């Protein structure tokens, strides 16, 4: 009997959907943030506040809010609260993108560093590769918003630079391991000059 009750309880947990769970997404630009939200129950109404100020009351549970005419790199917070159950809410924090010129500067630095990586060898290549990986990562983050086709090229450049750096590090390590220490070279040269006798 206990097993049957336990099975019924577990089955009911699997079947009963969570009540009015709210899901929120955002879309970013350099001067706007667009928030979209929806609930498991489309008949629910919500109150929406941005940065602590109520902007919508009794709004549809499947809706959106556009915050526009804001500056670059500004951070804003939205809170969507279920009107019938205030403990059911979601908070999202989003930051607007930097200006497009910032992205272009990042792109220029990244490609300049890539040229240095291809043009040099040894320690310079390893150091340039580290900076290239950092700048490629930052540029990739913003390229998704500003120039999404370019993001694939940057992803390829990231992994290719990492592979080049790895090969260069391995080459340097193997050459260091193969190279005899100076004291050993001096010993063998003196030994040869002395006639090789003990």
pLDDT tens digits, one per residue of 157-187: 999 999 999 999 998 888 877 777 777 777 7
Residue spans of the chain under pLDDT 70: 1-20, 195-198
pLDDT at 9: 56
> What percentage of the chain carries pLDDT values higher than 90?
41
Q: Which of 91, 26, 92, 93 is nearest to 64 (CA)?
A: 26
Tokens describing residue 173: 């390590």
* CA dihedral sign, ordered 133, 134, 139, 140: positive
CATH class of 19-95: mainly beta
Q: Find out whether 45 and 62 touch, Cβ atoms under 8 Å.
A: no
pLDDT at 12: 54
Rg (CA), the chain: 30
pLDDT at 7: 57
Task: Give the pLDDT score at 174.
Answer: 86
Task: Quote the pLDDT of residue 104.
Answer: 92
Angle at 64 between CA 62 and CA 66, to 5 degrees: 175
Instruction: Count CA atoms closer than 13 A to 188's CA, side-chain side.
Output: 5
Portion of the chain with pLDDT greater than 70, in percent: 86
Instruction: Give the per-residue pLDDT at 105.
Output: 93
How many other CB atoms sit within 10 Å of the CB of residue 100? Answer: 14
**Rounded Cα distance, 79 and 49, in Å:** 5
**Residue-range domain boundaries for the chain:** 19-95, 100-184
The residue with tokens 């990231």 is 158
Query: d(Cα 88, Cα 20) in Å, to the nearest integer?
Result: 7
What is the reported pLDDT for 16?
Answer: 46
The whole-angstrom separation of Cα 175 and Cα 172 is 5
Place of tokens 């959106």: 64
């Amino acid at each position: 009997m206990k097993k049957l009750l336990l099975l019924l309880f577990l089955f009911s947990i699997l079947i009963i959907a969570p009540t009015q769970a709210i899901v929120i997404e955002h879309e970013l630009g350099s001067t706007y943030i667009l928030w979209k939200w929806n609930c498991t129950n489309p008949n629910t109404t919500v109150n929406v506040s941005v940065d602590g100020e109520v902007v919508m009351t009794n709004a549809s549970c499947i809706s959106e809010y556009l915050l526009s005419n804001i500056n670059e790199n500004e951070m804003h917070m939205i809170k969507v609260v279920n009107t019938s159950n205030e403990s059911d809410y979601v908070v999202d924090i989003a930051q607007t993108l930097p200006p497009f010129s910032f992205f272009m500067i990042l792109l220029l630095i990244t490609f300049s560093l890539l040229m240095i990586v291809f043009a040099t060898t040894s320690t310079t290549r390893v150091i340039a590769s580290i900076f290239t990986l950092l700048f490629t990562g930052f540029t990739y983050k913003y390229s998704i918003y500003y120039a999404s086709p370019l993001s694939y090229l940057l992803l390829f450049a990231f992994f290719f630079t990492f592979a080049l750096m790895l090969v260069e590090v391995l080459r340097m390590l193997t050459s260091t391991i193969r190279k005899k220490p100076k004291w050993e070279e001096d010993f063998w040269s003196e030994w040869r000059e002395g006639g090789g006798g003990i």
